[in-house]
Amino acid sequence: MDTFKKLKQFYWPYRKYFFGSLFFLFFVTAITVVYPIILQLTIDEVVAKEQYSLIPYIAGIFIFLMLVKGVATFYHQFLGDRFGVSTVYALRDALYKKLQVLSFKYYDNAKTGDIMSRLTADVEGFRFFLSFGFAELIRIILLIVISLSVMFYYSIPLTLVTMAAMPFLIVVVMKFEKVAHPAFRGIRKSFGKLNTRVQENISGMQTVKSLSREDFEIGRFSNSNDDYRKNYISTSELWAKYFPLMEFIGNVCAVALLAFGGYLVIDGSLKPGELFAFFSLVWYIMGPLMNVGYVVNMFSQAKASGERLREILEEKEDIVVKENAIKEPIKGHVTFNNVTLTYTKDDDSALKNISFDAPPGKTIGLIGGTGSGKTSITQLITRFYEPESGDVLIDGKSVQEYDLKTLRNHIGFVLQESFLFSTTIRENIAYGNPNATDEEIIDAAKRAQAHDFIMDMPKGYDTLLGERGMGLSGGQKQRIAIARAICVDPSILVLDDATSAVDMDTEFRIQQALKEVMKGRTSFIIAHRISSLKHADEIIVLDDGNVVERGTHDELLKLDGAYRRIYDIQYQDHDTIMNAVN
């Protein structure tokens, strides 16, 4: 029960629904046990003694009890479902909030499909046991206790004969639970992998089709699907193995009951009606005991699901906000003092002793090969990651001293891969500044050179975008992302290869607009094209996490080093193309 104890905070506040459900369950169970008693009275008092005038009264009582049971069953099930759904609402809410505060380090290793599986299938598996499993376990206990009480009233010897089979049944149930839990955890894991495979395939469908890898993807999915199938079949084999054994023990008990009970009736120490009632009551015990296997089945699934949910809830938060964190406005003076960053313990450092100073209004250009550390610098400014050593300062204070929301609200970020939400263009631009006026939204779009193509759309700024901005070109998506960053009115602006998806003419016009936007703001431009950052106040050339050169565009050209080589490659290619055209 450790898993359920750890998750108690989510279901205990709704205990009134649970105990209310149990209150009505008591009536349902008690009335169920009354049926055999009515049967016994009908046989022994009405039929045997020929008191047929009692039939209307017995029928009336029976109908009344059925009505009471129907009402009690409704409230039992309604309150039970209310308990489970309310708990799952709180649990899913907590899971989603937790996912929002986990750092990029968690998402670097997590798989989207597996996370989706936990928030859907695992949450639902946990809810089903709360709504039905707990109550079913209580129902079984109540039914056994009440039935045994009536049985002892009818015949103590016959009851003891009946109970002789129970220890064997309990042993079988306990063994089943022991092997069932690992099996169901395997099912949950394989289902998470299956979801991941589907999610990756759908997200990367363009790549799959462009490289004609459909057959390969079908094979990978089939392997994951087969793994899920094998896990499920192995669990079904357990159920198929243990359930018949439990049923066999119950049937042996029934045979012993009929044999010994028949002897007692012949001996005159037990009435025929009592034997019939006794036989029904036995199945009120043996049936629920066999049903314990089904409850254990649900319990094992819920426990496996709960463990996977706890893994998210108990995940360590790498980025922690201090109690008295700074919430004052940020001017944007960024300083790196001997900063080293390592993403994974055994990997090489992504940044090695990086130092630079960027006063407000200064533009820093970052250039270098893939994996040189350009993006890592900007991710430390926003505290997406924590440095291994050294200090990242903003306005002379460590970024760790700032309130995280305050810090990030003062930073405008345009990523290389622009992500747009499935909502209107207006809401996408105002996403970081929900209180932005229409004038501010339009102004941001004009500065990002996006206003004209937006107005050409059927509904303009109210045009609804498809998933991930489907329906727009790469350049259009990137310009909307730039407008979104501008609309925040940030103190620090980060452009991570922000113009890589636009043509040269659009890039030039965006750069002209950004010159006005960047005035008074600390700006970081990450680019592969020198044309995107040659106007920067300082350009830092990175290689394998080290600063190899720094200076202005003209200064770096004179050094005749790494920057000059990049320049020559890009502009010699340009000159070659122009000569070929001429």
CATH code of 336-410+492-500+521-582, in short, is 3.40.50.300
* Euclidean distance between CA atoms 20 and 23, whole angstroms: 5
Burial (Cβ within 10 Å: 0-12, 13-18, ≥19) of residue 337: middle
- Amino acid identity, residue 433? N
Q: At what angle do helices 214-267 and 272-313 cross, to 10 degrees?
A: 150
Exposure b/e, 212-234, CB count within 10 A at least 16 = b: eeeeebeeeeeebbebbeebbee
pLDDT at 419: 78
Pairing assessment for the beta strands 389-394 and 334-341 based on DSSP bridges: antiparallel
* Euclidean distance between CA atoms 19 and 6, whole angstroms: 20
**Helix (H) / strand (E) containing 556:** helix 553-559
pLDDT at 391: 92
CATH superfamily assigned to domain 2-313: ABC transporter type 1, transmembrane domain (1.20.1560.10)
pLDDT at 340: 92
**Helix (H) / strand (E) containing 494:** strand 492-496
* Euclidean distance between CA atoms 43 and 273, whole angstroms: 5
pLDDT at 212: 65
The answer to whether the 2-313 and 336-410+492-500+521-582 domains have the same CATH topology is no
141 phi and psi, to 5 degrees?
-65, -45
Cα four-point dihedral sign 106, 111, 113, 114: negative
pLDDT at 532: 80
List the structure tokens of 239: 């159920």
Q: Residue 415 in contact with residue 478, Cβ under 8 Å? A: no
Spans of all domains in the chain: 2-313, 336-410+492-500+521-582
* Euclidean distance between CA atoms 90 and 144, whole angstroms: 34
Q: List beta partners, residue 496.
A: 526
State the CB neighbour count (10 A cutoff) for residue 58.
15
pLDDT at 580: 44
| Per-10-residue mean pLDDT, the chain, length 582 | 82 90 90 84 78 82 89 92 88 87 79 79 83 84 86 84 76 73 74 73 64 74 82 77 75 78 80 80 76 74 84 84 86 92 81 91 89 87 88 92 88 78 87 88 87 88 77 79 86 80 67 72 86 87 90 89 86 52 42
Q: What is the DSSP string of 225-242?
A: HHHHHHHHHHHHHHHHHH
Q: What is the DSSP string of 354-400?
A: EEEEE-TT-EEEEEESTTSSHHHHHHHHTTSS--SEEEEEETTEEGG
Residue 36 CB partners (closer than 8 Å, separation 6+)? 150, 276, 277, 278, 280, 281, 284
pLDDT at 538: 92
